[in-house]
Amino acid sequence: MTAVATRPVQRRVSTKVTRGLTGVAVLLVLAESVSRFGIVPANILPPVSRVLSDTFGLLVDPEFLGDVGSTLTAWAVGLGMAIIVAVPLGLVLGSFRIAYEASSAVVEFMRPIPSVALIPLAILVFGQGTDMKIALVVYASLWPIFFNTVYGVRDVDPVAKETARTFRLSRIGILARVSLPYAAPLAATGVRISAAIALIVTISAELLAGSASGIGAYILRISSGGGDTSLVFAGTIVAGLIGVVVNLVLVAVERKMFAWKKEGVA
């Protein structure tokens, strides 16, 4: 039964891969020829082959890797701090009706402020370094994690809570053993959304603040130094690759941690 079923699935996967690769190849050839045949000047749109070789060059360039490390540090520390603050806060505030209503009002007024608008303020308060980036990342990634945790807690099956109460679990016990596992998958989705936002904010801050290090700082250095456009493209491609990897890792973690979710809760 399974053997019969997997074969078409395998074929489907392999056509998908072939088609995907074909798509990428066509795009690359197209972009290469656009600049090779001078439809767009090469100093504006450098040939893909050069951008790609520059990308590989960057991946082994210690100076650039330092920039990547700086960006990732601010990103990870900020995101971690946001998780530490937002998840417990969401658990508690989601559990009490009034607190939930009040906090959702606060969130509604705070959230529309685009985090990048706070960059000038953050520069004043924290300077141009890592602290400033971390502060902005915390602010920006707080909301999605908090919101999703609250939603998760609001959705907890009342029967599960009642059962826990029957077994004389304390309020904190119920929070930790009923609400948290219930809300965890949604909170994780919040973390994934925040991870992307945090990367956006980190790189924006580096671009605008003229930070000493970071991917944004690198891109700014090259492009404002009248440098090679191809390197600017390469830096951006690396930023995109980091985005892809982060997303893949988080999706995989979610799948692994919450595999039980598929059976129990719909």
Partner 1 sequence: MALTTAVPTASRSRVGSERQAARRQWWGRFALRWVVLAVLITLWQVATVAFPSPFFPQPARIFERAALLWFPGANGMLTPSMQSDVLPSLGRMLLGFSLSVVVAVALGTVIGLSRKVGDYIDPIIQFLRAVPPPALLPIFLVLFGTGDQMRVLLIAFGTAWPILLNTIEGVRSIEELKYETATVFRIGFVGRLTRIVLPGAAPKILAGVRTSLSLALILMVISEMVAASSGIGFSIVQAQRGFGFLDMWAGIVLLGIIGFLLNTVLTLIERRILGWQRSSGRETA
Note the residues at the interface with partner 1 (CB under 8 A): 15-16, 19-24, 26-27, 44-45, 101-102, 105-106, 108-121, 123-125, 144, 147-148, 151, 186, 189-190, 193, 196, 199-200, 203-204, 207-208, 215-216, 219-220, 222-223, 229, 232-233, 235-237, 239-241, 243-244, 246-247
Q: CA 120, CA 122: separation in Å to the nearest integer? A: 5
Q: Give min distance, CB of 132 to partner 1, in A.
A: 13
Q: How many other CB atoms are found less than 10 A from the CB of residue 50? A: 18
Q: How many other CB atoms are found less than 10 A from the CB of residue 167? A: 10
Q: Which helix (H) or strand (E) is 198 found in, with range?
A: helix 180-209
Looking up tokens 């491609």, which residue turns up? 237
Q: Give min distance, CB of 170 to partner 1, in A.
A: 28
Nearer to partner 1, 2 or 158 (CB): 158
Nearer to partner 1, 157 or 167 (CB): 157
Q: CA 262, CA 254: separation in Å to the nearest integer? A: 12
Residue 116 near residue 216, CB atoms below 8 Å:
no
Nearer to partner 1, 3 or 98 (CB): 98
Q: Give min distance, CB of 208 to partner 1, in A.
A: 5
Residue 164 near residue 229, CB atoms below 8 Å:
no
Nearer to partner 1, 87 or 215 (CB): 215
Q: Give min distance, CB of 136 to partner 1, in A.
A: 12
Q: CA 263, CA 266: separation in Å to the nearest integer? A: 7
Q: Give min distance, CB of 48 to partner 1, in A.
A: 13
Q: Give min distance, CB of 230 to partner 1, in A.
A: 11
Nearer to partner 1, 49 or 236 (CB): 236
**For residue 75, what are the contacts with CB-CB under 8 A and spacing of at least 6?**
137, 195, 198, 199, 202
Q: CA 68, CA 216: separation in Å to the nearest integer? A: 9
Could you give the residue ranges of the DSSP H alpha helices within 40-129? 48-59, 62-95, 97-110, 119-126
Q: CA 86, CA 40: separation in Å to the nearest integer? A: 48
Nearer to partner 1, 167 or 253 (CB): 253
Nearer to partner 1, 173 or 240 (CB): 240
